[in-house]
Amino acid sequence: MLRDKLPELICPAGSLPALKAAVDHGADAVYLGYKNDTNARNFAGLNFDQKALTEGVRYAQSRGRKVLMAINTFAQPGRVADWQAAVDGAADLGVDAVILADVGLLDYAKNRYPDLRLHLSVQGSATSYEAVNFAHREFGVRRAVLPRVLTLAQVELVIKNTPVEIEIFGFGSLCVMNEGRCWLSSYATGESPNTVGACSPAKYVKWEKSPGQMTTRLNGILIDRFGDNESAGYPTLCKGRFEVNGETYYALEEPTSLNVLEILPEIAKIGVAAIKVEGRQRSPAYVAQVTKTLRAALDALASDSERYHVKPAWQADLAKVSEGNQATLGAYNRPWR
């Protein structure tokens, strides 16, 4: 039996066109961020200025969809006011919730805007119900996004022991680390998603084309070499190919996308409140395709949960936008446990 309702579908909006694509193709909510380092997808050409925010919030809410503002980096010394101003701006815009990781900002938001709905970001690294309950008790957090390191049984354990809504990732790039605790980008560049809002900031990235291959580097560190017949991925340390004991391979993590289509009934059964799609750095076409496909799957589950099955066309459509053209259930399914 399913719980009272299906998980909400939460989709990424790295731009106004992406926001509209998500809303038009069936997202229940979109998540977005400012065009600065208060959010963890702070790449050039992405995110929202005040004009785009105003239009985006109006577009989504006028169609009955929610807008979640990600202010999920950590306030830096001497600049705390910048992060507080971001919270102020979100409250003024009338967003449906603010996604925070920094406990100081959670405290600020709780006391300054007691009616503002607060979500704990995945960057908060809450992997236990004790951590989630702490955020609820101290800051009134209503929802927590779990890092992509838990099995489905562990997710269920959290849900059974907290009054807080639980949101999990359902599609998109994986993170090999426990989000909020990764030091790889900082090790290579001195900057990290927690501080400047970007993993492998673009100013440190270098692409070098030569006959027959493309080489990618991060702050001078060789990350990968791609043949002309390979798609050259963005150079992040965790997804590079390195020489280890004479062999060259993906030593930390292979490029692949999380895809939970086949376990949607189990996700709904244990009471997950929301399924999140990764990809604010991806195109509006990606957002449209993933949103449309997951919407169809969730609607099919709602219509007849007993006969739910994954249609080949759904998998084919998601495969087109999967990282490395392959998919995985990630940590949700660990047979060796």
- The predicted model gives 71-97 an average pLDDT of 97
- 213's CB contacts (< 8 A; 6+ apart) are 225, 226, 227, 228
Looking at per-residue pLDDT, the higher value among 173 and 218 belongs to 218
What band does 44 get if pLDDT is binned at 50, 70 and 90?
A: confident
- 141's CB contacts (< 8 A; 6+ apart) are 106, 118, 119, 120, 132, 135, 164
Residues of the chain above pLDDT 90, percent: 66
pLDDT at residue 2, rounded to an integer = 44
Domain ranges (residues) in the chain: 8-174+256-332, 200-250
**Dihedral pair phi/psi, residue 207, rounded to 5°:** -110, 130
- 161's CB contacts (< 8 A; 6+ apart) are 129, 133
Inter-CA distances, 210 with 202, 206, 230, 249, 279, Å: 21, 13, 14, 21, 30
Q: Are strands 247-250 and 241-244 parallel, antiparallel or unpaired?
A: antiparallel
Model confidence at 40: pLDDT above 90: no
Model confidence at 175: pLDDT above 80: no
User: What is the spatial distance between Cα 82 and Cα 63, in angstroms, rounded to a whole number?
Assistant: 31
Domain made up of 8-174+256-332: CATH architecture: Alpha-Beta Barrel (3.20)
pLDDT at residue 53, rounded to an integer = 97
- The predicted model gives 14-33 an average pLDDT of 98
- The predicted model gives 151-173 an average pLDDT of 96
pLDDT at residue 297, rounded to an integer = 97
pLDDT at residue 185, rounded to an integer = 82
What band does 243 get if pLDDT is binned at 50, 70 and 90?
A: confident
**Dihedral pair phi/psi, residue 293, rounded to 5°:** -70, -45
- The predicted model gives 313-335 an average pLDDT of 82
Residue 213 and residue 266 in contact, taking contact as beta carbons nearer than 8 Å: no
User: What is the spatial distance between Cα 158 and Cα 147, in angstroms, rounded to a whole number?
Assistant: 12
Inter-CA distances, 134 with 162, 181, 320, Å: 10, 18, 40
Model confidence at 173: pLDDT above 90: no
- The predicted model gives 300-308 an average pLDDT of 93
Model confidence at 274: pLDDT above 50: yes
- The predicted model gives 198-227 an average pLDDT of 88
pLDDT at residue 178, rounded to an integer = 66
User: What is the spatial distance between Cα 107 and Cα 69, in angstroms, rounded to a whole number?
Assistant: 17
pLDDT at residue 131, rounded to an integer = 97
